[in-house]
Amino acid sequence: MVNKHPEVAATPKAKRVRRRWPLISGIVALVLVVLLGALITVRDQGMPFAIDTLWMRVLGENRAPLWEFLALVMNYLGAGVVASFVIPGAIIIALLLIKRPWAALYFLIATVVTGGTVQLLKHLFGRARPDTILVNVDFGSFPSGHVANAAVMALVLSILFPRLWVWIAAAVYTVMMMLSRTYLGAHWLSDTLGAVLLGVGIAIVVAAPLAAKIDGERRIKGGQSTGRQPRSESRPEPRLQPSEPRPDETI
């Protein structure tokens, strides 16, 4: 029998997440984002690191129409109405249709918090963007909003659907977004790395208090439950000796 309450159906491991290392690791990731942003700000007034300029040079030497097309596609998926409403809305509706309301709430909170935090950090650090920008952009280079949104959505979906192919697809999508932002000259490489840390950190921190509900909900949907059912204790029938007649035999 499957228990219908998410927290009861969750595994003990999921119930311990809220007070274990995932929460700590998520907070550490967020602290690293702030430290990286502070380092960028105080170091030569936001000038790029050596790895930033080297990466831009490598991209500039390997430009091709195909790469530019792919970069523009990723730019479209990660910007404006599509990134803010269409894709998140479609995912939330899909989660509700398959009866995963806690998963939908988790996705909504994580994406909204990420978007707001990105804008806060952009104005806090105010890093200048590269000079060779091929697309329209807003204020602030650190962190990349496109990459942060991609990273948080990728990790959230990987947590909600823990399958190998989901993790691979999520990683590929995030890396492609990182490449597209630097290829289009919209961000330095360090901007995208900070954005990944930000998205991952928020996804983990938001997941911690909801871990039991998310895991239990998934197990209920899959017809599984860790709730222990009482064992029916029945005494074994006594073994009859060959000389004793069975109850159903006529004497």
pLDDT tens-digit series, residues 218-245 = 888 776 544 444 444 445 555 555 555 5
- Burial of 221 from C-beta contacts in 10 A (0-12 / 13-18 / 19+): middle
Question: Cα(137)–Cα(118) distance, rounded to whole angstroms?
Answer: 14
Q: Is-contact 176 74, C-beta < 8 A?
A: yes
State the pTM of this model. Answer: 0.80
Map residue 62 onto helix, strand or coil: coil
Token look-up 């599984």 returns 224
Residues 114-139, mean pLDDT to the nearest whole number:
89
| Other beta carbons less than 10 A from residue 143's beta carbon | 31
Domain extent listing, the chain: 6-221
Q: What is the pLDDT of residues 160-191, one digit of tens each?
A: 999 999 999 999 999 999 999 999 999 999 99
- pLDDT at 118 > cutoff 90: yes
| Other beta carbons less than 10 A from residue 205's beta carbon | 19
- Max Cα–Cα distance, the chain, nearest Å: 105
